[in-house]
Amino acid sequence: MSAPIPKKARLRKQIGSWLVNAFATGLALLWSVPVLWAVVASFRPANDAISHGDVWFSNTLTLENYLHAWSLAPFGQYYINTIIVVLTILVVQLVTIILAGFAFANYKFLGKRWVFFFILLQMMIPTSALLAPNFATIRELGIFDTRLAIAIPYFGSAFGTFLMRQSFLEVPRYLVDAGIIDGCSWWQLILHVYLPPSIPTLIAFGLSSATWHWNEFLWPLIITNSDSSRPLTAGLVRFTQLGEIGAQWSLLTAATLMVTAPLFIVFLIFQRRFIQSFLHSGLK
Amino acid sequence: MQSQAARKPFKPLPYLLTLPTAVFVAVFTVWPVLLSIYQSFFRQRMNIAKFREPSFIGLENYIDLLNDPYFIKVIGNTLKYIIGTVPISILLGFLFALLVNRKVRGVGFFRLAFFHPMVLPMVSAATVWLFFFTPDYGLFNTALRFLGYNGPQNWTGNPNLAILSVIIVAIWKNSGYYMIFYLAGLQNLPTDVFEAAALDGANGWQTLWQITFPLMRRTTLFISTIAFIDAFRTVDHIFVLTSGGPSRASTVLLFELWSQRFEYQDIGVSAAITVIFVVILLAFTITNFIVSERKEA
């Protein structure tokens, strides 16, 4: 064996890995610029050099943009609306998907395949495509411009049902049979046998559902008409169109970050769980 | 296994348990499709007095749409948007996954940097990008000037650049999402294949394109599906950046559906667009299903 060749190869590998690292760092920084810029800009005084995009080098930091933005639009109400909508959807979804998932995993019944297929239709046709007729339905139900109207189309979740069914099917049958022998009723079976091992799936579903509905824009935009029901996303877009805002970027970024911050901070803390949850929510 | 339930006479419980979900699917997925099919055969415009009551016109809404150069343009824009976003974000997702799937320090930072746009509301992301695209002092133009380019400055207001700016934001936001699927795929790859390739003297590049990427075929197919559907159903950034303009240069199908229904108050035409939309999505899902089943065999 000749020594110099592996040495040279190792050197080449070293340089290669260096280059890849430099490339990755550059790309990662590039990808982070928008959010970093927004964070810095939101803390800069409104009359700073921001109109030239120059926010990085300055040493004044201020909260005035946040206070000003908060005073210009009812962000407190928007927060309440978003939180209520997200929680309502989540709670109702958890009930409906657990019940339906349990039925599909635990029972045999006539037409089971057809009921299942019927529910899966929801996964093939995204709700956003149906906003015009759903708007008509909401008008018909008399709940236009309410938080309920934002939430109600999502009360049943084909994807969640599917996910729970998969998770419940992995519970060994003998555990279920033991539960039945012990005299468990159907809801005790769910609570004591099926649910405990399925908690990670529930959390994964919950995180992606909450993220999705916190961020949703188009449906709330068309179905709300007043600040009493408008969520953060629709409120933000309304805010950006206010006459007095114009091109006050520090103000705009402050408002943008207020809309984003709670979810984003939770994401930063539970990053791994979020990524797992998004992975789950895609892999059907 | 589940025979005890089957042997007994009719039991309503399973039906009752699936009922809530089935009812919501019926009211908010199936009924709207049927309603749209019905309404698409009528002329009904809420903002024109004589057309407020629906009148049957057969297929006229569809015929009008397909003969309307504006609608053809919208279809073209939708294709541009899909071609502009889907392949590039998938490739970037793969690249990100390769960069993150290494045992070096700082990988957590890379992963965060690539993935975080996914968690932001699209309207927030677009509002930040709006600044970057601002004429004169926007970051994008400043950077381009730095590189010696002084061409068109008004990105979102330029008919040729508007859709590009919308595409850029979508790529920025979604690539990190696709990364996590590739990452999961890469971590499940069999290692012996790579050992064999290394023994055969394959270099990194060959291994990547001749082994890794082909092994990721199923992941790629899966990501293409989500990317495609996402391209159809996300228009939030268009509202913030361009409002579909200038002169509909960045109007895609869903945005057109929104403006027909809520700006022009045209029930019949928006119903027809809904039907076209649903047909495209179903055709895509079914084709996709057939393709992936065939590959299984």
- What pLDDT is stored for residue A246 in this prediction? 64
Rounded to whole angstroms, how far apart are CA atoms A225 and A95? 29
**Is residue B126 in some structural domain?**
yes
**Interface with chain A: mutation pick from B31, B111, B124, highest number of A CBs within 10 Å:** B124
Residue B265's pLDDT is: 92
Q: What is the pLDDT of residues A149-200, one digit of tens each?
A: 999 999 999 999 999 999 999 999 999 999 999 999 999 999 999 999 999 9
What's the rounded Cα separation, in Å, for the pair A231 and A214?
Answer: 8
Q: Is A8 part of any domain?
A: yes
Q: Say what angle helices B13-25 and A75-106 make with each other, to 10 degrees.
A: 140
Number of domains in chain B: 1
CATH number of the domain to which B211 belongs: 1.10.3720.10
A40, A136: one domain: no
Q: What is the pTM (predicted TM-score) of this model?
A: 0.89
* A274 within a domain of the structure (yes/no): no
Are residues A98 and A123 both part of a single domain?
yes
Q: Are residues A92 and A187 in the same domain?
A: yes
Asked if residue A124 and residue A43 are part of one domain, the reply reads no
Distance from CA of A100 to the nearest CA of B (A): 4
Q: Which residue of A has its CA nearest to B140?
A: A53
Contacts of A256 in chain B (CB under 8 A): 124, 127-128
Q: What mean pLDDT do residues B160-178 have?
A: 93
Q: Which residues of B touch A126 (CB under 8 A)?
A: 229, 232-233, 281
The 10s digit of each residue's pLDDT in B193-245 is 777 877 887 777 788 888 888 888 888 988 998 899 899 988 999 999 988 87
Question: Mean pLDDT across the stretch A255-272?
Answer: 91
* pLDDT greater at residue B87 or residue B216: B87
In a shared domain, residues A158 and A54: no
Question: Could you give phi then psi for residue B42, rounded to 5 degrees?
Answer: -120, 155
| Interface contact B242, partner A, CB < 8 A | no
pLDDT digits 0-9 by tens, A100-124 = 999 999 999 999 999 999 999 998 8
Q: Do A106 and B2 touch (CB under 8 A)?
A: yes
Measure CA B126 to chain center.
16
Q: Is residue A281's pLDDT more than 50?
A: yes
Domain count for chain A, please give it: 2
User: How does A7-19 read in b/e, with b if 16+ C-beta sit within 10 Å?
Assistant: eeeeeeeeeeeee
What region does A261 belong to: left with phi over 0, alpha with psi -120 to 50, or beta?
Answer: alpha
Whether A127 and A186 map to the same domain: the answer is: yes
Residue A219 maps to a domain: yes
Mean pLDDT, residues A87-108: 96
Evaluate whether residue A227 is within a structural domain: yes
The SS3 assignment for B289 reads helix
- Residue A185 phi, psi (nearest 5): -80, 175
Per the domain annotation, does B89 fall within a domain?
A: yes
- For position A263, what pLDDT does the model report? 93
Q: Of the residues A14, A31, A61, which one is the last residue of a structural domain?
A: A61
Read off the pLDDT of each residue in B23-31 and give the average, rounded to a whole number. Answer: 96
Rounded to an integer, what distance in angstroms lies between the CA atom of residue B137 and that of residue B127?
16
Which residues lie across from B42 on neighbouring strands? B56
Identify whether residues A96 and A153 lie together within a single domain: yes
Please indicate whether, in this complex, the C-beta atoms of B258 and A131 are within 8 angstroms of each other. Answer: yes
Range of the domain at A42: 4-61
What DSSP letter does each residue of B198-221 carry, written as one string? HHTT--HHHHIIIIIHHHTHHHHH
| pLDDT over 50 at B1, yes or no | no
Residue A64 pLDDT: 84
Least CB-CB distance to B278: which of A125, A233, A279?
Answer: A125
pLDDT digits (tens, 9 = 90+) for A215-254: 999 999 999 999 999 999 999 998 888 766 666 788 888 9
Cα-based angle B230, B107, B166 (whole degrees, multiple of 5):
30
Residue B266, in any domain of the structure: yes
Q: Is B235 on the interface with A (CB under 8 A)?
A: yes
Regarding whether A198 and A85 lie in a shared domain, the answer is: yes
A86 and A194, same structural domain? yes
Concatenated DSSP letters for B26-85?
IIIIIHHHHHHHHHTTEE-BTTSGGGSS-EE-TTHHHHHHHH-HHHHHHHHHHHHHHHHH
Nearest CA of chain B to the CA of A204: how many Å?
A: 14
Q: Do residue A26 and residue A122 come from a single domain?
A: no
**Residue B221 contacts A, CB cutoff 8 Å:** no
pLDDT at A48 (0 to 100): 56
**For position A1, what pLDDT does the model report?**
45
B264 — contact with chain A (CB < 8 Å)? no
Q: What is the mean pLDDT of residues A50-74?
A: 76
Q: Are residues A88 and A228 in the same domain?
A: yes
Please indicate, yes or no, if residue B45 is contained in any of the structural domains.
no
Domain end residue (candidates: A241, A256, A278): A241
Nearest 10 degrees: Cα torsion B255, B242, B68, B261? 40
Could you give the 3-state DSSP secondary structure of residue B43?
strand
Predicted pLDDT at A86: 97
Task: Say if B19 falls within a structural domain.
Answer: no
**What is the domain-level CATH number for residue A140?**
1.10.3720.10
Does B22 reside within a domain?
A: no
- Six token digits for residue B16: 């009752």
Q: What is the pLDDT of residue A13?
A: 79
pLDDT score of B287 more than 90: no
> Whole-angstrom distance between the N-terminal and C-terminal Cα of chain B?
28
C-alpha B28 chain-centroid distance: 21
Judging contacts by C-beta atoms under 8 Å, the chain B residues touching residue A35 are: 116-117, 120, 128
The rounded Cα B43 to chain-centroid distance in angstroms is 30
Closest residue by Cα to residue B292 from A284, A123, A125, A129:
A284
Q: Do B21 and A97 touch (CB under 8 A)?
A: yes
Q: Quote the domain boundaries for residue B104.
A: 69-296
ipTM over 0.90: no
Whether residue A279 lies inside any domain: the answer is no
In a domain, residue B167? The reply is yes
| A151 and A220 share one domain | yes
Asked if residue A52 has pLDDT above 70, the reply is no
